[in-house]
Structure 1
Amino acid sequence: MAQVTTLLVAVICLALIFDFINGFHDAANSIATIVSTKVLTPFQAVLWAAAFNFLAFFLVKDHKVANTIAKTVVEHYITMHVILAGLIAAITWNLITWWFGIPSSSSHTLIGGFAGAGMTHALYMHGNPLAAVDLKPILVIIAFIFLAPIIGLLIGVVINIIILHICKHARPVTAERWFKRLQLVSSGALSFAHGTNDAQKVMGIIYVALVSQKVIGSGAAMPEWIPLACYSAIALGTMSGGWKIVKTMGTKITKVTPLEGVSAETAGAITLFITERFGIPVSTTHTITGSIIGVGLTKRASAVRWGVTINLIWAWIITIPISALVAGLVYALIQIF
């Protein structure tokens, strides 16, 4: 029993480490535009984003996204080794993409790792690997790899056009001053949405670990310490920043003005609020990237650096399969040792 308890504690610690890494990996999503438009310094921006990440703990009590993540692997195939392998794979891929400044999805890294470890476990049990995963949520998650940025793009275009129409007679200096103030609101909303969506994914993993070890029963209410720990970890991670990805998101996709920053951040926040309402675990990275592209398109198609964008899309596509493969290898190594 002591060994099991130690493993459970190790898994919970790894889950919170992943949440911390998720925070600094995805900090760019919330602060890239507000830093690139010089509304806040990088240090001020990460404090602002972290505060709104943590605010979600007090206001969000219906953890639908966590429930979806918990159900991606069929309960019969969930073991502590499956969860451990999935987390190690997710952390590994997150650190690799952070090191190279690639804004990939922490969410999909975790989902791919969890699913890949579960499928490998099924193979070890001489079963059908596809039987280990619930294909319905997996297919929805895969669909939103493409739908989330498209929704963000479309909302970004609409919001930017509306704002441009409203402000067409405004003095440029006055308008810029107001939009710099409004960016504080829009970036705060995006950070809040990021917290509600991304922290819940680790909640789901910790929950299934507790169920797997029979600490709580299947279907039991989530203990209050899990959301508190997850929101704290992601907020602390956001405070540590992720400057390589900030540069990609804030300057390499398209040049962003304060007005466009408000449009992109508002579009990203609206998309995340909608998907969270329906319990769909989407990528904050994908969503805000789509929103930034949409804002760039309202100027002209050439305003978007399509070479950079295409590279990002390829990173999104390979994240789930690579994470699943790494998780499978980690699971196999665990079985050897």
Structure 2
Amino acid sequence: MDTSLVALILVILTALAFDFTNGFHDTGNAMATSIATGALRPKVAVMLSAVLNLVGAFLSVEVALTVTNAVIKIQDKTGAPKAEYLANGGQALLLIVLAGLCGGVVWNLLTWLLGLPSSSSHALFGGMIGAAIAGLGVSGVNWAGDGTKLDGVVGKVILPALMSPVIAGCVAALGTWLIYRITEGVAERYKESGFRWGQIGSASLVSLAHGTNDAQKTMGVITLALLASGHWTDTTNIPLWVKFACALAIALGTYLGGWRIIRTLGKGLVEISSPQGMAAESSSAVTILASSHLGFALSTTHVATGSILGTGIGKRGAEVRWGVAGRMAVAWLTTLPAAGLVGAVMWWIGHTLGGTLGMIAVFAILAALAGYMYLHSRRAPIDHNNVNDEWEGTPTEAPVPAGVNH
């Protein structure tokens, strides 16, 4: 079989594998709080999220059309691969993409194994950046664009990563404070039951928003591979079968549920109530949908985590585990360089072995690492049966913002 065709097939398979890990890695962003408060049963929650992720994947292509050329310089302004990377069926470009995807998948699986919510978007971008540096040098990365607009790694990745959790957290904190202020005289049992119904709607909106943002990233990667290999020529549209394949992959991953991460977000970060859950989910949905409209491929994990922390700050006496938040912050800071290192090593292996052998070796190493981490996870399984068990450790009381009276 022709090397470029083998490379294309392996890129598509790896991209769909990344999309699958993205789905189960990010289920908690939408459903963790609803599961924690009892608004939805765990299996019902992941099924609902999967269906809405599937629908959301078809609603927008803004992110898909900008995801790859936002961070690495392998495409021209139209989105088509540059001519110098098209020799031999685009093998040079396909190896960079394959190695970058491996970096994203490995980091997603490792953080899932550790129960740490981290950014699938940044894992993908980190892997791509590492592979591009290894294959093209530092100049192969689009660090800041041409200066005419927010672009490149700084504008499309780093700034949204810094701003989105802060914005979402502030909105959630204000929303939580308002909710408790407005419902101050309402009996607790009515408050909880009423907001649980509201949580179903707000969590559904987050799942829909997640589909419009995260599924697009893999669509963009596969379309780039098809362009490089000559199997697609339209740089303004995504092949229909690619949309379906990516939507199904992320939906299937979502349905299986990343229970380890759901547990951390729902039980380990904040002892959350239904009003807080609705505030967090509403804040996340607004932030994610706005970014999808603007074409920013931001991290839904950063947004959801910022929102949950915001609800802890906005409610007097809320229990927040700042130690857990600190470990998550370390994972966030490590994502880009760690995924980049994996991407660079994978590119070096593929390039050193060369041709079909190099491509197959990279894919085989990825499969072996994935299998090892899955088997390791079975030593202490977390699923829908124990996802809501009490969190071990002592929470601390969240600080009350100055000047805010509850």
Same fold? TM cut 0.5? yes
- Root-mean-square deviation (CA, aligned residues, Å) is 1.6
The CA deviation at 1:218 is 6.1
**1:179 paired residue number:** 195
Aligned residues: 330
Overall identity of the aligned pairs, in %? 36
SS of the residue 2:39 aligns to: coil
Quick check: 1:297–1:303 contact (8 Å CA) kept in 2?
Answer: no
Mind listing any 5+ residue stretches in structure 1 that lack a counterpart? 124-128
* Partner amino acid, structure 1, of 2:98: L
From 86, 90, 100, give the equivalent of 1:86.
100
**1:333 paired residue number:** 349
Provide the TM-score with structure 2 as the length reference.
0.78
**2:36 paired residue number:** 36
Quick check: 1:105–1:285 contact (8 Å CA) kept in 2?
Answer: yes
The CA deviation at 1:301 is 7.6
2:120 is equivalent to residue 106 of structure 1: yes
Quick check: 2:57–2:213 contact (8 Å CA) kept in 1?
Answer: no
2:72 is equivalent to residue 73 of structure 1: yes
For residues 115-173 of structure 1, the C-alpha deviation after alignment (integer angstroms, 9 at most, x for no partner) is: 211121113xxxxx234435332102111222111011011012212222322222222
For residues 252-302 of structure 1, the C-alpha deviation after alignment (integer angstroms, 9 at most, x for no partner) is: 111011111000001011110111111111111110100001000012487
The CA deviation at 1:336 is 1.3
Distance 2:202 2:152 in 1: 30
The CA deviation at 1:183 is 0.8
**1:46 paired residue number:** 46
Structure (1 or 2) with the larger CA radius of gyration: 2
Quick check: 1:145–1:316 contact (8 Å CA) kept in 2?
Answer: no
**2:310 paired residue number:** 294
SS of the residue 2:186 aligns to: coil
Quick check: 2:29–2:301 contact (8 Å CA) kept in 1?
Answer: yes
**1:262 paired residue number:** 278
**1:216 paired residue number:** 232
Instruction: From the superposition, tell whether residues 8 and 131 of structure 1 become closer, same or farther in structure 2 (CA, over 3 Å).
Output: closer
Quick check: 1:55–1:192 contact (8 Å CA) kept in 2?
Answer: yes
From 147, 153, 156, give the equivalent of 1:138.
153
Distance 2:238 2:40 in 1: 37
Provide the TM-score with structure 1 as the length reference.
0.94
Structure (1 or 2) with the greater helix fraction: 1
SS of the residue 1:70 aligns to: coil
For residues 20-79 of structure 1, the C-alpha deviation after alignment (integer angstroms, 9 at most, x for no partner) is: 111111111111101111122211110011111112144x14x11112212121124670
* Partner amino acid, structure 2, of 1:315: A
**Larger relative contact order (Cα-Cα within 8 Å, sequence gap ≥ 6):** 1
The CA deviation at 1:229 is 1.3
Quick check: 2:132–2:140 contact (8 Å CA) kept in 1?
Answer: no
For residues 194-240 of structure 1, the C-alpha deviation after alignment (integer angstroms, 9 at most, x for no partner) is: 11111011111111111111222362422122222111110100000
Mind listing any 5+ residue stretches in structure 2 that lack a counterpart? 76-81, 86-91, 145-150, 354-406
SS of the residue 2:67 aligns to: helix
**2:16 paired residue number:** 16
Distance 1:169 1:302 in 2: 19
Distance 2:235 2:316 in 1: 51
